[in-house]
Amino acid sequence: MRLKDKVAIVTGAAQGIGAAYARALAAEGARVCVCDIADPKPLVSELTSAGHRAIGTVADILDTAAFGAAVDATIKAFGGVHILVNNAAIFGQLTFKPFYDIGADEWDKVMAVNVRGTVECVKAVLPHMRNQKYGKIINISSATFHRGSPLLTHYVASKGAVIAVTRCMARELGELGIRVNCIAPGFTISAAVQANPIYQNPAITNMTIGARAIKREEVPEDLVGTLIYLASPDSDFVTGQTIVVDGGSTMV
C-alpha cells in the first residue's frame, strides 16, 4: 500500500491504459478520480465494489472549466490531490499517412489534446500541490518519439513535446516539492488499438515484436509498475525523467 492516503486523478481513465493506471493506483491504496470524456461509471463501480475509494468525472481536458470542476470534486471527495496522471490523448483513432497529407485541422487537434491538454491539467492541480508542497505529475509520452516513427508525424511530434514540457515543468516546480516525470510506452495493445482495423494487420504486430528484446506484445499492465514507482515516495528524488517501457525496442 505504497500510496495509502494519497489522492490521484487519471485522465482518459474510463478504459484501456488509463483504466489500468487507475486500477493499479487504487490497489496501492490511492483514492482515485477516474476522469474521461467517456462514461467513467463502470470503472468507478468496479473499483468501489472491490473496496477501493473512487469517483468519476466527465471532462474534456481542453475545457479548463470542466477539468477544474473535476479537480474541485476530487478535493471535495478526498481532501486533496497528490498525483496527476496525464494519460488522455489522441492516438488509437489516427490513420497512417505521410506528413504532407496531414491536414491542418487534424494536426492542430492532435497537438492541442496531447500537448496543451497536458499543460492545462497541470495548471489546474498546481495551486493545490503548491499549497501542500508536494505532488507527483506523471505525463505520458511515447517511445515513437525516440525512433522517429513514420506516418504519424503529428502524434510523434506531440509526444516529443510532452517530453520537453516534462523537463521544463520539472525545472520550474522542483522547489515547490512537485516532481514531474514521464512514461514513454511502446506500441501497447489497448482497447483503442484493438478497435482500429489498421492495427489488425499481422505485419504491424510482427514488426513491433521483432524490434523488441522481449519478444511479445505489450499490454497495459506492463506499464503499471513504472507508474507506481513514479507516483510513490520511492521516486521522491527523481524528476524531469522519461522512462521508456517498450520491451527493449528503444534503448536510450
Could you say which of 100, 134, 155, 199 is catalytic? 155
Give pLDDT tens digits for 182-210: 999 999 988 778 877 787 788 888 899 99
Which triple of cell numbers denotes residue 144?
Answer: 515513437
Provide CB contacts within 8 A for 159, sequence distance 6+.
114, 141, 142, 144, 145, 184
Instruction: Sketch out the chain's domains with CATH numbers.
Output: 7-192+220-242 (3.40.50.720)
In angstroms, the first-to-last Cα distance of the chain is 31
Rounded Cα distance between 24 and 60, Å, is 23
Q: How confident is the model at residue 67 (pLDDT cuts 50, 70, 90)?
A: very high
What torsion do the CA atoms of 139, 140, 143, 145 make, to the nearest 10 degrees?
-70
pLDDT of 174 above 90: yes
pLDDT of 99 above 90: yes
What pLDDT is recorded for position 143?
97
What pLDDT is recorded for position 197?
78
In the annotation, is 155 catalytic?
yes
**208-238 as b/e: b if 16+ CB within 10 A:** bbebbeeeeebebebbbebbbbbbbeebeee
- Region 45-57: mean pLDDT is 98
